[in-house]
Structure 1
Amino acid sequence: MKNIVKIAVALFAMVQTIYAQKNTELWSAGRPDGHAPISVMGDHYHGKGDVMFSYRYMRMNMEGLLQGSSEISNAQGHDSGYMVTPLNMPMDMHMLGVMYGLTDKITLVAMAMYTQNEMDLQMRMMSGMTTQFSTSSSGFGDVKLGMLYKFVNAKRQSLHAIVNLSIPTGALEAEDVTPMSAPNKIQLPYPMQIGSGTYDLDLGLNYLGQTDNYSWGSQLRGTYRFDRNEFDYSLGNRYSLNSWFAYKVNDWISFSARGEVLAEERINGANPNLNPMMVTTADTANSGGKYINGGLGFNVYVPKGSFKNVRFGLEYAQPLYQEPNGIQLERRETLTFGLQYSL
């Protein structure tokens, strides 16, 4: 946390440096690398009266078990006292967003999402035999409303703040049938729920810079949960630092590389409807962790013609290091692509 504060102070100090430079040349979003890699949100702002619509699709895959940074088998997971352990979990997210330039300094933002989760699990019975089963959940998640505030844009560098509020519209009562509950449905564990159930504050600082053919940026971000939800728990706070570098090949396409440091705290509280000894995903000790991720991608931008201001972005990301708390599924690849259109 101390390192994150130091980074925030350094970014604010950068504002003074940019203001001190007498140069009116502005950072510009009107180029393929004028937006960050498609997985990064809140990376740019708009001028007064400008509108942008966006659609993103993200698929994240998790498979195999980790205990801390070490791989373990499902048998070892059972030996740790859990009757059920997960095998894999693919997650699909569809995100719709809109941005509107209220003034040249303030951009309003809104985002809604639809999530689909699937999980294959293994149960070890008293006889020692194992059987597999699957659960799934889907629905509209929490809605995010907020604003971006531009501090400065000069010397082809820019700095803005991110302030979002997540409204708990996503379901917390996703249910499915398991071998223990058949033929009835029971409430699914934490990773399979669609919403947080709490009002969450999302704060961030975003720095951007560019030359004729290159651009770069860093985004410091934190998500803070307010109180606990109706099931007496809240998801852990989340802190991340994203940095990226992009090369503009021409007016139409750019390629990017991104690195992310991510820390997630454990779930606070516990849902009384879940048995933490039944399955690893119902035990709050098995939540949160530390991660370092890397991604490669490209952006395509249409600067003129009938499809002017249409963008397409794609990024493939992979964990470079991960140390989850307790026993959790190992995070694998994440594929994100999206379309953006500005008016």
Structure 2
Amino acid sequence: MFLKSSRGSLLAAALFLPLTAAVAGGEHAAARADSHAPIGVMGDHVHKAGEFMASYRYMRMEMSGNRIGRKEVSPEFIVQNVPNRFDGPGTLRVVPTEMTMEMHMLGVMYGWTDTVTLMAMLPVVANTMQHLTFQGMSGTDRLGTFETSSEGIGDIGLFALFRLHDDGHQLLVGRMGLRAPTGSVDETAQVLTPMNTRPTLRMPYPMQLGSGTYAVTPALTWRRYLGAASIGAQYDGVLQLGRNDEGYTLGDQHALGAWAAYGWAPWVSTSLRARASSRESIQGLDRRIMAPIQTANPDFQGGDRIEAGVGVNLLGVDGPLRHHRLAMEMLWPFYQDLNGPQMEADYTLTVGYQYAW
């Protein structure tokens, strides 16, 4: 799957590079809005020894509708054609229709040396999912709808960033990090069953707040300044370590992205970015997550996605706003090949604030 995603991201990068190839090269200034990547890119820069930076990001992903592979499918198609993996009806009887995933990310960075920066991230996660329940053991009679939600601390991340190369024109930053299993994996909610009962059950995997396992998070970021413009690319990975206490491990993730930015003035830049990502299905099984719904099936997780969008960075360059940074980015998917049935993404919004001293 990652090979397909990588080809898509490289194609996107090839489309972006000509936009800036004609711009004359030049040294980058310290105070320019595009000295940071688009706000949706994590761990793209380092700090000098003794410097701090505090940050806050709000990320929101909206999902609606379902698809199997690249084909969009209706709830009625799912309950008529997709087998139920567990004991009970022969096909799935509950279909998720909408989901909102929100994350409030608090971060701090510290320049340990001129070449090594330490970073910590604390996520607060809030998930909401809408469901449609079909009546009985078969058929397409709709029984009703219900909503589930979960909220709390996610998996904390600790990282080290390395300035591998910086000559004023090009910057290369490596990252190695560890995510700790601080997010809950036993969240419950009341559901509407096909038999019109409302028990409280453990929610399926997408509604849990964490992974339950440690994970290694390598990344490599490259950026080049070209006069008033800049281009960049990043590989970002999440590699899970072992199975959690519930008997499963989330799938590894890989992403490859590229962007082009232009500084209209030292205090403002805009960007275009494309990102291809691939996530494997879940390995193992939580025996308390066994229901006639697609999100309870470990095989119906992950897939490939290519998305593109726009961003803006605003930087305070003097006065009381100096070193304050405000940024926004919106990405929309234009290719999704999902291990379905699975809900498809509509958009991802990231808004962030950063302050360095």
Q: Tell me the TM-score normalised to structure 1 length.
A: 0.91
RMSD: 1.8
Contact 1:27 / 1:154 at 8 angstroms: preserved in 2?
no
For residues 82-121 of structure 1, what are the alpha-carbon distances to aligned partners after superposition, in whole Å with 9 as ceiling and x for unaligned? 0111000011110000000000000000000111111010
Q: How does 1:191-270 map to 2 (within 5 A)?
A: 191-270=206-285
Offset at residue 33 of structure 1 (A): 0.5
Tell me, yes or no, if structure 1 residue 150 matches structure 2 residue 160.
no
* Structure 2 spans left out of the alignment, 5+ residues: 8-25, 83-90
Match in the other structure for 2:92 = 82
Relative to structure 1, the CA distance from residue 2 to residue 83 in structure 2 (aligned partners, 3 Å threshold; closer, same or farther) is closer
| C-alpha distance 145-170 of structure 1, shift in aligned 2 (>3 A) | same
Range with bigger deviation, 61-70 or 181-190: 181-190
Residue 125 (structure 1) shift: 1.0
Secondary structure of the corresponding residue to residue 217 of structure 2: strand
SS at match of 2:164: strand
Structure 1 residue 30 displacement after superposition: 2.7
Cα pair 2:31 2:266 within 8 Å, conserved? no
Q: Is structure 2 residue 350 aligned with structure 1 residue 332? A: no
Say whether the 8 Å CA contact 2:69–2:339 is kept in structure 1: yes
Indicate if the aligned counterparts of 1:137 and 1:174 stay in contact, CA closer than 8 A. Answer: yes
Q: Distance in 2 between matches of 1:266 and 1:218?
A: 26
Q: Which residue of 2 aligns with 1:188?
A: 203
Q: Residue 91 of structure 1 is aligned with which of 86, 92, 101?
A: 101
Distance in structure 2 (CA, Å) of the matches to 1:280 and 1:2? 26
Tell whether the 8 Å contact from 1:146 to 1:165 is kept in structure 2 after alignment. yes
Match of 1:70 in 2: 71
Q: CA deviation at 1:326?
A: 2.0
Please, which of 160, 175, 179 is the counterpart of residue 162 of structure 1? 175
2:331 aligned with 1:309, yes or no? no
CA distance in 2 between counterparts of 1:156 and 1:295 reads 25
Residue number in structure 1 paired with 2:10: none
> How far does residue 211 in structure 1 lie from its aligned partner after superposition?
2.4
| 1:316-342 Cα deviation digits (max 9, x unpaired) | 110010001121001111111110000
Task: Return closer, same or farther for 1:203/1:273 CA change in 2, 3 Å cut-off.
Answer: same
Given residue 58 of structure 1, which amino acid in structure 2 is its aligned partner? M
**Runs of 4+ that moved beyond 4 A:** 1-6, 25-29, 181-184
Tell me, yes or no, if structure 1 residue 179 matches structure 2 residue 189.
no
Name the stretch that deviates more: 281-290 or 152-161.
152-161
Distance 1:304 1:287, change over 3 A: same
* Cα shift readout 1:189-216 (whole Å, capped 9, x = no counterpart): 0000000100000001111111230011
- Determine if the alignment matches structure 1 residue 101 to structure 2 residue 101: no
What secondary structure does 1:249 align onto? Answer: strand
- 1:59 aligns to what? 60
- State the number of aligned residues: 324
Q: What is the alpha-carbon distance in structure 2 between the residues aligned to residue 261 and residue 132 of structure 1? A: 33
Q: CA deviation at 1:3?
A: 8.9
Question: What is the Cα deviation at residue 312 of structure 1?
Answer: 0.4
> In 1, are the aligned partners of 2:6 and 2:276 still within 8 Å (CA)?
no
C-alpha separation between the residues in 2 aligned to 1:330 and 1:4? Answer: 16
User: Unpaired runs of 5+ in structure 1?
Assistant: 7-24
1:199–1:225 Cα contact (<8 Å) kept: yes
- For 1:99-138, list aligned pairs within 5 A: 99-126=109-136, 128-130=140-142, 131-138=144-151
CA distance in 1: counterparts of 2:155 and 2:199, whole angstroms = 27
Looking at structure 1, the residues matched to 73 and 3 of structure 2 have their Cα atoms a distance apart, in angstroms, of: 32
Deviations 1:154-210 (A, max 9, x none): 151011111110001001111110123955421100000000100000001111111
- Selected match of 1:297 from 303, 306, 311: 311
Q: Is the 8 A contact 1:263 1:290 kept in 2?
A: yes
Q: Deviations over 1:226-256 (max 9, x none)?
A: 0001111011000001111000000110000
2:279 and 2:78 mapped to 1: Cα distance?
22
Contact 1:47–1:103 (8 Å) recurs in 2: yes
C-alpha contact 2:148 2:189 (8 A) present in aligned 1: yes
Give the residue type in structure 2 aligned to 1:241: L
Cα distance change, pair 138–268 in 1 and its aligned pair in 2 (3 A): same
1:267-292 CA distances to partner (integer Å, 9 max, x unpaired)?
1111111115x100001111110110
Counterpart Cα distance in 1 of 2:66 and 2:118: 41
Give the Cα–Cα distance (whole angstroms) in 2 for the partners of residues 28 and 151 of structure 1: 19
Q: Is the 8 A contact 1:259 1:293 kept in 2?
A: yes
Q: Distance in 2 between matches of 1:46 and 1:94?
A: 23
